[in-house]
Amino acid sequence: MLGNHEFYRSSIERERIEAGRAAVQSDVHVLDDMVWTIGSVRFVGCTLWTDYSLFNADEDPLVLDSYMATARFGLNDHRKIRLVDSSSRPFIPQHAREIHKKSVAFLDEVLSQRFDGQTVVLSHHAPARGSIAPQYANVGLTAAYVSRLEWLIEKHQPALWLHGHTHSSFDYNIGSTRVIANPHGYRNENRHGFNPHLVVDLNDLTPKPNVP
Tens-digit pLDDT string for the chain (212 aa): 999 999 999 999 999 999 999 998 888 999 999 999 999 999 999 999 999 999 987 788 898 999 999 999 999 999 999 998 777 799 999 999 999 999 999 999 999 999 999 999 999 999 999 999 999 999 999 999 999 999 999 999 999 999 999 989 999 999 999 999 999 877 776 666 889 899 999 988 766 666 65
d(CA 47, CA 103): 8
Residue 153 is predicted with a pLDDT of 98
Q: Domain spans of the chain?
A: 4-204
DSSP string, 92-112: -HHHHHHHHHHHHHHHHHHHH
Percentage above 70 pLDDT, the chain: 94
- Confirm if 15 and 2 have CB atoms less than 8 A apart: yes
d(CA 159, CA 153): 10
- Confirm if 147 and 48 have CB atoms less than 8 A apart: yes
Return the closest-CA partner of residue 14 out of 88, 85, 92. Answer: 85
d(CA 58, CA 152): 17
- Confirm if 70 and 161 have CB atoms less than 8 A apart: no
CATH topology of domain 4-204: Transcription Regulator spoIIAA (3.30.750)
Residue 207 is predicted with a pLDDT of 63
Q: Point out which residues pair with 179 in neighbouring strands.
A: 161, 172
DSSP strands (E only) in the chain = 10-11, 34-38, 41-46, 81-82, 118-123, 160-163, 170-174, 177-181
- Confirm if 163 and 174 have CB atoms less than 8 A apart: no
Return the closest-CA partner of residue 175 out of 147, 200, 204, 208. Answer: 208
